Amino acid sequence: MARLWALPGALKGPAMGGKRPLKGGLPRLFADCRSVPARACRRHYDGLRQRYELTDRVTLDFAAGVASAYGSWRAVTAQLTATERLRVTGKGRRPSAQAVERLRRRQGLEWSKYESALRPLEELASASRKAPTNARELLEQRTAETRT
């Protein structure tokens, strides 16, 4: 009789560090959370959580998608900057003008994808704002509205 724990693919012990959920409710979107787009995504996700009241799972997942789009835009922007620098100052074989223009278009597409994802998140976050539960919260909300 074969031992179950000796079989390939069998579960052994607790899940590894890469399998645990990330802090703040961010789902695992990247294989390596240390990559440049993953770090930008994390920073932007934290900023979105501070700016909007992200309370339910749907808005948290939507914020993760928006942050992922932002991370993609940052990665394309870095690639475009490096390509332009290599075209101007590089030696030997350099990227063509067509390659630079292709990256510029891609950067614009990534930015429009980010903006189009951000608008529904703002609507979701404003719709999910908590109603005041006591008189003090109601008074604070009203004074904040009159100041603006």
Q: What is the pLDDT of residue 21?
A: 67
pLDDT category at 5 given cuts 50, 70, 90 is very low
Contact residues for 39 (Cβ-Cβ < 8 A; gap 6+): 33, 71
User: Which residue ranges make up each domain of the chain?
Assistant: 27-128
Q: Each residue of 76-95: pLDDT tens digit?
A: 999 999 999 999 998 889 99
Average pLDDT along the chain:
79
**pLDDT in the model for residue 99:** 94
- What are 91-102's pLDDT values in tens digits? 889 999 999 999
